[in-house]
């Protein structure tokens, strides 16, 4: 009798243990499933950059707060854009000790909440670091471990601030226009930075740009994590540079005020020959191989092909996060270039954000947010004002 009772107790104990094991396994399986990434639908088509607000600006306090407001977001939405790209700088968002600047982060949250209100998506772009500015001679980000760790910490902070926003509404762009002498230096940082974000946010869309100012021609050197479908590939396009940056004060060709053309040769041989020797040399040297290039819609398609092929190979979407021409460029040529850019980008299903909204000489509004570039707006969105 005791033997039978013992066997019964033993069977019941084994059954209970098996049930407990099943429950534990099921719980672990559910947890594992929740940790498995799914593909996020972050659908965008046309956007604009909000420059010179939380990036590349000396505005602070009330002046900074007034530069970009809910009224601007409402205007952008009313014109037919579906997203903004929001550049932010380390110097704006954190002090030198690495502590978050409360006022700047409050403005960031304001922008994200305004975008939610007006049904705009947002790409938050970490634009300039203390250790990396795309035009600086020295870029410690690629040479110093401490600078790299500081970059990763920026993304830990940003993720902690923004992870409450829906993944189909807000995306993160790792960094603007990386310029590494060795493309593998950028690839290693991309790998680590994505891993840092993925520790807490498996399904957040991460925008990754190519090396050398996000050049279309550098995509064959870019390396991204395999099987991560929540990556949006990005390139920038400002060619022909002599047109898009006509008389730009920060360029070597600022003194050139002669004719520029689109489509066709930006400057003809006859026009070059008629220039003073020093200006002709500047134009030829700065444009290098581009000075004799014929730019038209076919050339744009040709330049976009390498990033398109890379995106298709990896089953990812493509984004042209910056493109635009200064308003100092001859109007008719500039508008023809804008039209070809929009047509070629959209024909290839490349989402885009023009540079920029206001404040930088490229914008379709003035500093008061008035839509003064009506012909450009019509090309960008089809909106007739």
Domain-wise residue ranges, the chain:
46-245+296-381
Indicate if the pLDDT at residue 4 is higher than 90.
Answer: no
pLDDT at 252: 85
- Cα distances (angstroms) measured from residue 119 to each of 73, 82, 173, 378: 10, 8, 20, 21
Average the pLDDT over 192-196 and give the result.
98
Indicate if the pLDDT at residue 2 is higher than 70.
Answer: no
pLDDT at 289: 62
Global pTM reads 0.90
11 or 363: which carries more pLDDT confidence? Answer: 363
Residues 6+ apart with CB under 8 A from 323: 236, 237, 238, 341, 352, 354, 355
- DSSP states along 265-280: ESS-HHHHHTS-HHHH
Range in 26-30, 163-167, 334-338 the model is least confident about: 26-30
Phi and psi torsions of 322, nearest 5°: -145, 135
Q: What's the pLDDT tens digit per position in 92-128?
A: 999 999 999 999 999 999 999 999 999 999 999 999 9
Indicate if the pLDDT at residue 67 is higher than 50.
Answer: yes
Q: Is 375 exposed, middle or buried (0-12, 13-18, 19+ CB in 10 A)?
A: middle
Indicate if the pLDDT at residue 378 is higher than 90.
Answer: yes
pLDDT band at 53 (very low <50, low <70, confident <90, very high): very high
Exposure string of 74-100, with b = 16+ CB inside 10 Å and e = fewer, is: ebbbebebbbbbbbbbbbbbbeeeeee
pLDDT at 288: 65
pLDDT at 3: 47
> What is the fold, at CATH topology level, of the domain defined by 46-245+296-381?
TIM Barrel (3.20.20)
pLDDT band at 359 (very low <50, low <70, confident <90, very high): confident
Mean pLDDT of the chain: 91
């Amino acid at each position: 009798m005791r033997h039978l009772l013992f066997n019964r107790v033993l069977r019941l104990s084994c059954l209970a243990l098996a049930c407990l094991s099943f429950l534990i396994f099921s719980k672990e399986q559910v947890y594992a499933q929740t940790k498995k990434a799914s593909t996020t639908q972050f659908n965008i088509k046309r956007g604009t950059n909000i420059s010179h607000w939380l990036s590349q600006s000396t505005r602070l306090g009330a002046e900074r707060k007034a530069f970009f407001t809910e009224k601007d977001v409402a205007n952008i939405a009313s014109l037919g854009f579906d997203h903004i790209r929001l550049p932010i700088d380390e110097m704006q968002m954190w002090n030198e000790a690495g502590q978050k600047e409360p006022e700047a982060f409050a403005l960031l949250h304001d922008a994200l909440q305004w975008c939610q209100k007006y049904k705009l998506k947002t790409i938050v772009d970490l634009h300039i670091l203390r250790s990396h500015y795309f035009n600086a001679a020295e870029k410690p980000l690629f040479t110093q471990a401490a600078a790299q760790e500081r970059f990763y910490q920026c993304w830990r902070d940003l993720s902690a601030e923004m992870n409450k926003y829906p993944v189909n509404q807000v995306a993160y762009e790792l960094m603007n226009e990386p310029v590494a002498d060795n493309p593998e230096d950028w690839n290693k940082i991309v790998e680590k930075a994505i891993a840092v974000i993925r520790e807490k946010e498996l399904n957040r869309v991460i925008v990754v740009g190519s090396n050398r100012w996000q050049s279309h021609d550098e995509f064959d050197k870019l390396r991204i994590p395999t099987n991560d479908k929540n990556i949006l590939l990005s390139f920038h396009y400002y060619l022909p540079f002599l047109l898009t940056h006509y008389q730009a004060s920060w360029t070597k060709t600022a003194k050139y005020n002669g004719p520029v053309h689109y489509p066709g040769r930006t400057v003809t041989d006859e026009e070059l020959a008629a220039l003073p020797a020093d200006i002709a040399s500047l134009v030829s040297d700065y444009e290098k191989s581009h000075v004799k290039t014929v730019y038209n819609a076919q050339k744009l398609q040709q330049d976009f092909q390498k990033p398109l092929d890379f995106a298709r190979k990896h089953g990812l979407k493509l984004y042209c996060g910056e493109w635009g021409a200064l308003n100092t460029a001859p109007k008719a040529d500039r508008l023809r270039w804008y039209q070809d850019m929009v047509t070629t980008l959209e024909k290839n299903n490349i989402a885009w954000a023009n540079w920029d909204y206001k404040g930088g000489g490229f914008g379709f509004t003035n500093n008061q947010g008035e839509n003064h570039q009506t012909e450009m707006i019509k090309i960008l969105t089809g909106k007739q004002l």
